[in-house]
Amino acid sequence: MTTTSTKANGSGNSSMPIQERDRVTVRFAGDSGDGMQLAGNRFADATAIFGNDFSTLPDFPAEIRAPAGSLAGVSSFQISFSKHQIFTPGDEPDTLVAMNPAALKSHLSALTKGGLLVINEDAFTSGNLKKANYPSNPLSDGSLEGYRIIKAPITTAAVAAVDDLGLSNQNAERTKNFFALGLVYWLYDRDLQPTLDWIEERFGRLPNIAEANRRALFAGHSYGETTEIADAHVRVPPAVLTPGEYRTITGNQAMVLGLITAAHLTDLELFYGSYPITPASDILVELAALREYGVRTFQAEDEISAVGTAIGASYGGGLGVTGTSGPGIALKSEAINLAVMTELPLIVLDVQRSGPSTGMPTKTEQTDLLQVMYGRNGESPLCVLAAKSPGDCFYMVLEAVRLAFQFVTPVILLSDTYLANTAEPWPVPDITQLEPIDIPYRRLEQVDPEDFEPYKRDPDTLARMFIPPGLPDLQHRIGGLEKSDITGDVAYSPENHQRMTDLRAAKIAGIANFIPELEVDGPESGDLLVLSWGSTYGAVFTAVNDAREAGHEVAHAHLQYLNPFPRNLSDVVSRYEKVLIPEANTGQLRMLVRANFLVDAKGYNEVTGQPLSARLLTEAIRKLADE
Amino acid sequence: MVLQTPHAPEPVESIIPLASEDLKRKDYASDVDTRWCPGCGDYSILAQMQRGLSNLNVAPEKMVFVSGIGCSSRFPYYMNTYGMHSIHGRAPTIASGLKLARPDLMVFVITGDGDALSIGGNHLLHVLRRNMDVKIFLFNNRIYGLTKGQYSPTSELGKVTKSSPIGTTERPLNPLSVALASEATFVARTFDTDPQHLTATIEQAARHHGAAFVEILQNCNIFNDRAFADYTDRDVRNERLLYLEHGQPMLFGENEDKGLAVSATGLRVVDTDGPDAGLILSHDATRPAPDVHQLLARCQYPEMPVPMGVIRRVNAPTYGDYIDSQIEVAKFKNRQDVAQLLRGRSTWQVE
């Protein structure tokens, strides 16, 4: 063991022949205190630098530290990497790293038949087996037959590797994730250098801890070299991606960058009002660290205050944004309606999670679509967008800002737990190439007071004359009471209420003329269209392609604009015999499509808290195509 | 003779955006017809608000009135300023976001006892605690007027109202105690039928740098008539009200013949010609500890005189001051390079 070596590339020193594969999926699973998210993220980093395309799926319990060894406390991180472009983190892992019996119990059923199990045999004590409800030890009772197994004494080997550093027992044992990581690096022929650099950066001020982690990583790697498992040593060649500069990005990070970029492009002050809520909290946390960009983050006393302050900032002419998840949207609904009635620009980020009620805070779902469409009192139309991938969150934020100001309306942008936490390689955008975003109120500031009426509308967009306070001779009052057309005075006349109801609806419907038409991938008409929205894009894209490879003619279209729909959607759905709408809910988009276009759309629906399974969806597509 | 010498640091005053010409009261009145019941205390408050602002000569276009829901919350419509009649209880949130985005504006919140202390109770605590630079005027009529006469969170225990036909079963909140407990830096009380005091209090609140909380006792002549008459009627005022003046002894009575002194259990009334006259306190609104201020807030008729005026006025940085200075420091220390930010900690090149 040496720590002076900086390059340790397994393929050179192994006697075992190396296998080549197109795509591999690995899942790390352990106690929530075992550092599985950290190990997974390091693996993703090394994979990015190696040049594979990849996609990750962190999955962790809502409890910060459930009892050690319990089933409730299992945390996992899946990564799929490929020589081709990929769009999902993979359905079934080829390799499962199980740090304890609970992790094995929770995740074994996902492992592909004949898959590789890397097991920390030290953790298979009678106590831990009992906590995981194992009547007998699966390592010896034959129940793991059919899998390839690497049983490694991960804890004791890691502790031995750091033996002379004088660490506490607890700290020594904590290096076991780096041991496991080193072992997996060997299995998949990863360069250790990016992780060594990261250790130096992260733990440089704690040289003992840094050294311990380095040693555990090397020890795990060496352990791999001496394993004698057949076909374990695998290489996935780099993917051919569009040339350019890449970084890894999660959906929440992309939201943050999108907001900063929107503020930069518009030269508006960014105000982000939010109350901490899983899985949206990271947006608040990351924005709070960017004061140098003039960001005013406001950790509100509750969800209502979070949106109220954002509305106040918007009313003042700023870029007012609030972010939350489904339960927070429910609390914000009345205030969002105020922004509908006062017709103010407002950005609402909804990072959806499993419901109803508190539901499963760390699990994903697409179940807020109908809530954001209709979950407010009165006829309350607003603009709804949905991101389709982590990187797409960036571009959809820019789009939300553009539409909010152009149409002077609240815009709700839907993401979800899966997009929020999943990481993928992302071509870094060139900000000089991004579309500018127009802020119409700046032109209105030159208006002659004689021509100013707060509810006079732009003939093209139907946007009202929104002008922030501060300009002389333009003083006016707005509010939640019904407004008189043009003057904005309080009005109760029946004719006016009908007219204003129609105008608010027409304004939002008219956005369809300012957004792209829906593109169809595959045949322009025919037997089967698969129509999807939001984070299921990757799984649906993959499933459609798999069905095509199996000989089916399938078209695919993906919606990023949910309200209004793209203006050609009616035409698109009418061109196919069958329409299949896969969703991680019980059929919310399907209900909208059926209601709007009288199309007998079928659903493929999973409400499991997990991303849609591309494999099961492929089967559903093939079955419907055969009908 | 007084027990205590007030220390009176120079108050930090709010920067008031001034009008370019000399404005009159009517310049602050909008052309919208008022729709309160005839005889409502709100008319007086509206008139004194306009008078106070004209005394200060505030630029109307730099002023925003934000209100919630309730009779009082109609107020912004009648002011020739910018304004938002928002939703129930949430005015402090909208005002906070507005002030943070637009420090150049002067932001006033108009609210009522139900709006501020019931449905919006949480926001009131936090807007005060944060010392947001907004001025909050709570019109307290101890009743729900707009919904036609249900009890409010300041209605007295046992009060018979439409929703409590045999009397309420809940104890009221004391708005000043709530404000003090929320670390408010400016706390005052005034009432609708003393125009001079009302105007002066509004002006002092407007000048305060930070969150100002003003309780205005306001008569609802339809659903809770004469709620405060026992001590605000002209003929009893001098006997039953304590007009507070910073730095002055706390005296009241027709001939200023009584004063407040500290007792073992709180405040007590002593005669100015009695043996304890020397124990009469001077009012120190700037005292950092809110102890005496809380005792004053708790003074209730008929046991004690009811304090009017500025109870507390202390200097403290506002939320906006803190966040602006963080931004300034961060801009000085760190690079602003959006292109670099997009690249993140590390990137790689695909050839």
B122: CB partners within 8 A, 6+ apart: A301, A302, A305
Is pLDDT above 70 for A13? no
CA dist B21 and B28 (Å) reads 13
3-class secondary structure, A384: strand
**Mean pLDDT confidence for B265-284:** 95
Least-confidence region, from A59-73, A201-215, B65-79, B131-145: A59-73
In angstroms, the separation between the Cα of residue B23 and the nearest Cα of chain A is 14
A237 touches B: beta carbon within 8 Å: no
Q: Name the average pLDDT for chain B.
A: 95
Predicted confidence band at A65 (pLDDT cuts at 50, 70, 90)? confident
Edge-to-edge order in the sheet of strand A554-559: A520-521, A554-559, A526-533, A576-583, A602-605
Q: Torsion over CA of A30, A33, A35 and A38, rounded to 10 degrees?
A: 120
A472 touches B: beta carbon within 8 Å: yes
Q: Which residues of A touch B326 (CB under 8 A)?
A: 291
The ipTM, to two decimals, is: 0.96
- The angle subtended at Cα B188 by Cα B186 and Cα B192, nearest 5°, is 145
Is pLDDT above 50 for B109? yes
CA dist B130 and B128 (Å) reads 5
The answer to whether B103 and B132 have CB atoms below 8 angstroms apart is no
* Amino acid residing at B224: N
Note the pLDDT tens digit of each residue in B96-106: 999 999 999 99
A292 touches B: beta carbon within 8 Å: yes
Judge whether B45 lies within some domain.
yes
Count other C-beta atoms under 10 Å from residue A605's C-beta.
Answer: 17
B110 is in which domain, residue-wise?
A: 25-227+317-343
Judge whether B172 lies within some domain.
yes
Is pLDDT above 90 for A3? no
CA dist A435 and A438 (Å) reads 9
CA dist B210 and B213 (Å) reads 10
Q: What is the DSSP letter of A167?
A: -
Is pLDDT above 90 for A78? yes
Is pLDDT above 50 for A438? yes
How confident is the model at residue A6, as a pLDDT?
35
The alpha-helical segments, DSSP class H, found in A301-382 are: 303-315, 326-342, 369-374
Judge whether B269 lies within some domain.
no
User: Percentage of chain B surpassing pLDDT 70?
Assistant: 97
Q: Which residue of A253, A431, A476 is in closest CB contact with B338? A: A431
Is pLDDT above 60 for A190? yes
CA dist B59 and B36 (Å) reads 26
Predicted confidence band at A17 (pLDDT cuts at 50, 70, 90)? confident
Yes or no, beta carbons of B93 and A300 under 8 Å apart: yes
In angstroms, the separation between the Cα of residue A417 and the nearest Cα of chain B is 22
Judge whether B49 lies within some domain.
yes
Q: Which residue of A308, A429, A474 is in closest CB contact with B94? A: A308
Note the pLDDT tens digit of each residue in A494-522: 999 999 999 999 999 999 999 999 999 99
Query: Which is it for strands B63-67 and B251-252: parallel, antiparallel or unpaired?
Result: unpaired
CA dist B150 and A534 (Å) reads 47
Judge whether B236 lies within some domain.
no
Note the pLDDT tens digit of each residue in A551-592: 999 999 999 999 999 999 999 999 999 999 999 999 999 999
Yes or no, beta carbons of A313 and B101 under 8 Å apart: yes
A191: CB partners within 8 A, 6+ apart: A7, A9, A46, A49, A50, A185
pTM of the model: 0.94
Count other C-beta atoms under 10 Å from residue B82's C-beta.
Answer: 28
Question: Chain B: residue nearest A239 by CA?
Answer: B350
Query: Which is it for strands A554-559 and A520-521: parallel, antiparallel or unpaired?
Result: antiparallel
CA dist B290 and B184 (Å) reads 10
A166 touches B: beta carbon within 8 Å: no
Number of domains in chain B: 1
Q: Which residues of B touch A261 (CB under 8 A)?
A: 338, 342
Note the pLDDT tens digit of each residue in B127-174: 999 999 999 999 999 999 999 999 999 999 999 999 999 999 999 999
A300 touches B: beta carbon within 8 Å: yes
- Go through the domains of chain A in sequence order and give each one's CATH number: 2-235 (3.40.920.10), 247-433 (3.40.50.970), 441-514 (no CATH), 520-626 (3.40.50.920)
Question: Chain B: residue nearest A472 by CA?
Answer: B61
Nearest to A312 by CA among A288, A328, A293, A296: A296
Q: Which residues of A touch B62 (CB under 8 A)?
A: 469-470
Yes or no, beta carbons of B82 and A481 under 8 Å apart: no
Note the pLDDT tens digit of each residue in B23-60: 999 999 999 999 999 999 999 999 999 999 999 999 99
Yes or no, beta carbons of A292 and B77 under 8 Å apart: no
3-class secondary structure, A88: coil
Q: Which residues of A touch B106 (CB under 8 A)?
A: none
Question: Of chain A residues 8-47, which have a CB less than 8 A from chain B?
Answer: 45
Note the pLDDT tens digit of each residue in A248-268: 999 999 999 999 999 999 999
The answer to whether A155 and A176 have CB atoms below 8 angstroms apart is yes
Question: Chain B: residue nearest A432 by CA?
Answer: B339
Q: Which residues of A touch B93 (CB under 8 A)?
A: 300, 304-305, 307-309, 311-312, 335
In angstroms, the separation between the Cα of residue A429 and the nearest Cα of chain B is 7
CA dist A591 and B53 (Å) reads 55
Q: Torsion over CA of A577, A582, A586 and A592, rounded to 10 degrees?
A: -60
Q: Which residue of A246, A291, A429 is in closest CB contact with B350? A: A246
**What residues pair up with B212 in beta bridges, in sequence order?**
B135, B186
How confident is the model at residue B9, as a pLDDT?
57
Question: Chain A: residue nearest B122 by CA?
Answer: A301
Yes or no, beta carbons of B61 and A311 under 8 Å apart: no
Yes or no, beta carbons of A477 and B342 under 8 Å apart: no
Predicted confidence band at B8 (pLDDT cuts at 50, 70, 90)? low
**Mean pLDDT confidence for B208-231:** 97
Judge whether B12 lies within some domain.
no
Is pLDDT above 50 for B175? yes
In angstroms, the separation between the Cα of residue B9 and the nearest Cα of chain A is 31
* Amino acid residing at B114: G
How confident is the model at residue B10, as a pLDDT?
64
Q: Which residue of B85, B125, B348 is in closest CB contact with A480? A: B85
Question: Chain B: residue nearest A273 by CA?
Answer: B97
Q: Which residue of B81, B102, B323 is in closest CB contact with A316? A: B102
Q: Name the average pLDDT for chain A.
A: 94
A576 touches B: beta carbon within 8 Å: no
In angstroms, the separation between the Cα of residue B98 and the nearest Cα of chain A is 4
B171: domain CATH number is 3.40.50.970
Note the pLDDT tens digit of each residue in A449-476: 999 999 999 999 999 999 999 999 999 9
- Length of chain A counted residue by residue: 627
Question: Of chain A residues 577-616, which have a CB less than 8 A from chain B?
Answer: none
Predicted confidence band at B264 (pLDDT cuts at 50, 70, 90)? confident
Q: Which residue of B63, B323, B339 is in closest CB contact with A296? A: B323
Yes or no, beta carbons of A478 and B330 under 8 Å apart: no
Q: Which helix (H) or strand (E) holds A196?
A: helix A193-203
How confident is the model at residue B7, as a pLDDT?
53
Q: Which residues of B touch A48 (CB under 8 A)?
A: 348
Query: Which is it for strands A477-479 and A526-533: parallel, antiparallel or unpaired?
Result: unpaired
Yes or no, beta carbons of B350 and A478 under 8 Å apart: no
Q: Which residues of B touch A269 (CB under 8 A)?
A: 101
Q: Which residue of A261, A312, A318 is in closest CB contact with B93? A: A312
Number of A–B residue contacts, CB under 8 Å: 207
How confident is the model at residue A7, as a pLDDT?
36
Yes or no, beta carbons of A480 and B348 under 8 Å apart: no
Yes or no, beta carbons of B341 and A309 under 8 Å apart: no
Yes or no, beta carbons of A318 and B326 under 8 Å apart: no
CA distances from A35 to A248, B34, B209 (A): 20, 65, 49
A338 touches B: beta carbon within 8 Å: yes
Nearest to A441 by CA among A470, A416, A484, A421: A470
Yes or no, beta carbons of A298 and B32 under 8 Å apart: no
